[in-house]
Amino acid sequence: MFTRILSLFAIALVCASLAAGGASAKPDRSLSGITVFAGSSMTTVLPKIDPGNTYSFGSSTTLGTQIANGAPADVLMSANTTVPASLFAQGVVEKPVNFTRNTLAIVVPKGNPANIKSIYDLTKPGPKIAVAAVTVPVGSYTVQVLNQMGINSAVQANVVTRETSDANVVAKVALGQVDAGFVYLSDYVIDPTHLSLIKVPAWAQPKITYAMAIVTKSPNQAAAEAWMKKVLSPAGQKVFVDNGFLPLTAAVPTITKVAPSQGKPGATVTLTGTNFTGTIAVTVSGAPATFKFVSPTKLTFTVPKKAKSGSITVVNPSGKATAPFKVG
């Protein structure tokens, strides 16, 4: 735990240094790859996609200001769309591209000593709450959620600290210095061992979309473009999803294997493919089949009595996949 907390403090120190240093932050450009300025919620995920880049993590707002003031970044990766859009309007960056999404969450210390069960418990007197300052995206999203739920005043009355990043909020919660903190869901996924999660209601969630853009004055345009393609690639997107972020759009299922590819009514068939989570129907030439979800990449179904040869269809809320199948 101490290693984790020390690393959180290290993140906090970097954030503080960036916030205080403004454009004076000068990453070591002698390292391989490009220089990426990114919101602190991506501290863990980006090096997993490419450890060769030089990363500076901090408040997206602060990083945007630094880039506008000439800081030597190649790419800005922001925890919102507004900072890149503003810089694009000023000609500081190229056209932004959305690359992932996130949700707001509440974390409490493991064991939940204040016995907080829902966001509404934070409206009662007693719990000590950490939030990020409204000048950084996660702080702005927090206020947005609380306003939308009509509980901003009551919750703010329990706020004891306003941090400069989500990483700082996580550190305060992990150390037990506060009873709860508002962060991104991806912050919880990084360290579920020392934190417990309380959901923020979906009906009140803000739209948290991350956008990235190449810095116009970057001397490494080609490498920056390659990095952005890597982030948007299926492999890059998987790393984000594996670390608690949301995909840009829900994925359509695919079928890569049907075993056996022929069967009589009543036979069990195994489908291999992708994105089977959330499957709502399996049909054989239009006849509904009883199915069982095994994993995101595996489904089994029973060939229905009235099935005719033709195709198997797997349906999820985003779309459908088909594959040939012979009955008999």
Partner 1 sequence: MSAPITRGQLLSRSAKGGAALLVAGSALGAFVDTAAAALPVGDLAWARLLVGAELLASDFYSSATAAGNTNKTVTSNLKRAYANEQEHYQSVAEIITGAGATPAVSGDIDFNYPDGTFASQHSIVKFAGQLETIILGSYLGAIDGIQTDSLKAGLARIAANEAQHVSYFTAAGGGKAFTLSFPPALTIDQASNALDAFTA
Q: How many residues bind partner 1 (CB under 8 A)?
A: 28
Smallest gap from Cβ 200 to partner 1, in A, equals: 9
Retrieve residue 193's tokens.
Answer: 């061992």
Minimum distance of partner 1 from residue 281's CB (angstroms): 4
Segment interacting with partner 1 (CB under 8 A) among 4-12, 51-59, 113-121, 158-166: 113-121
Q: Tally Cβ neighbours within 10 Å of residue 254.
A: 16
Q: Which two tokens stand for residue 111?
A: 């064991």
Q: Which is closer to partner 1, CB of 67 or CB of 119?
A: 119
**Residue selected from 16, 68, 97, 151 as contacting partner 1 according to rule CB under 8 A:** 151
What is the C-alpha separation between 58 and 327, in angstroms, rounded?
58
**What is the per-residue burial (b if ≥16 Cβ within 10 Å, else e) of 97-124?**
bebbbbbbbbbbbbeeebebeebebbbe
- Rounded-to-integer distance, Cα 35 and Cα 43, Å: 14
Closest by CA position to 37, among listed 55, 49, 24 = 55
Q: How far is residue 176's CA from residue 170's CA, in Å, rounded to a whole number?
A: 10
> If you write DSSP's letter for every residue of 137-181 in order, what string do you get?
HHHHHHHHHHHHHT-HHHHHTTEEEEESSHHHHHHHHHTTSSSEE
Distance CA 210, CA 223 (A): 20
Angle at 57 between CA 198 and CA 178, to 5 degrees: 35
**Minimal distance, residue 141 CB to partner 1, in Å:** 14
Tell me the sheet residues that pair with 199: 105
* Of the residues 39, 291, 299, 314, which one makes contact with partner 1 according to CB under 8 A: 291
Piece of 21-29, 40-48, 209-217, 276-284 that binds partner 1 (CB under 8 A): 276-284
Burial of 305 (0-12, 13-18, 19+ CB in 10 A): exposed
Query: Between 234 and 317, whose beta carbon lies closer to partner 1?
Result: 317
CA angle 52-34-98, nearest 5°?
A: 105
CB of 275 to partner 1, least distance (A): 13
Restricting to residues 203-242, name those near partner 1 by CB under 8 A. 203-205, 207
Question: Which segment (55-63, 67-75, 77-85, 195-203) binds partner 1 by CB under 8 A?
Answer: 195-203
Q: What single-letter amino acid sits at 11?
A: I
Instruction: Tell whether residue 197 is a contact of partner 1 (CB under 8 A).
Output: no
Is 281 a binding residue for partner 1 by CB under 8 A? The answer is: yes
Q: Which of 115, 118, 135, 268 binds partner 1 (CB under 8 A)?
A: 118
- Name the minimum Å distance from CB 93 to partner 1: 26
Give the residue, chosen from 199, 229, 308, 326, that forms a contact with partner 1 under the rule CB under 8 A. Answer: 199
The residue within the footprint of partner 1, chosen from 33, 278, 296, 310 (CB under 8 A), is 278
Rounded Cα distance between 101 and 96, Å, is 14
According to the binding rule CB under 8 A, does residue 288 interact with partner 1? Answer: yes
201 near partner 1, judged by CB under 8 A: yes
Q: Using the minimum distance from each CB to partner 1, give the nearer residue, 68 or 246.
A: 246
Q: Of the ranges 23-31, 135-143, 255-263, 284-292, which one interacts with partner 1 (CB under 8 A)?
A: 284-292
**202 binding partner 1? (CB under 8 A):** yes
User: Cβ closer to partner 1: 8 or 200?
Assistant: 200
89 touches partner 1 (CB under 8 A) = no
Positions that interact with partner 1 (CB under 8 A): 118-120, 147-152, 199, 201-205, 207, 246, 250, 278, 280-281, 283, 288, 290-291, 293, 315, 317
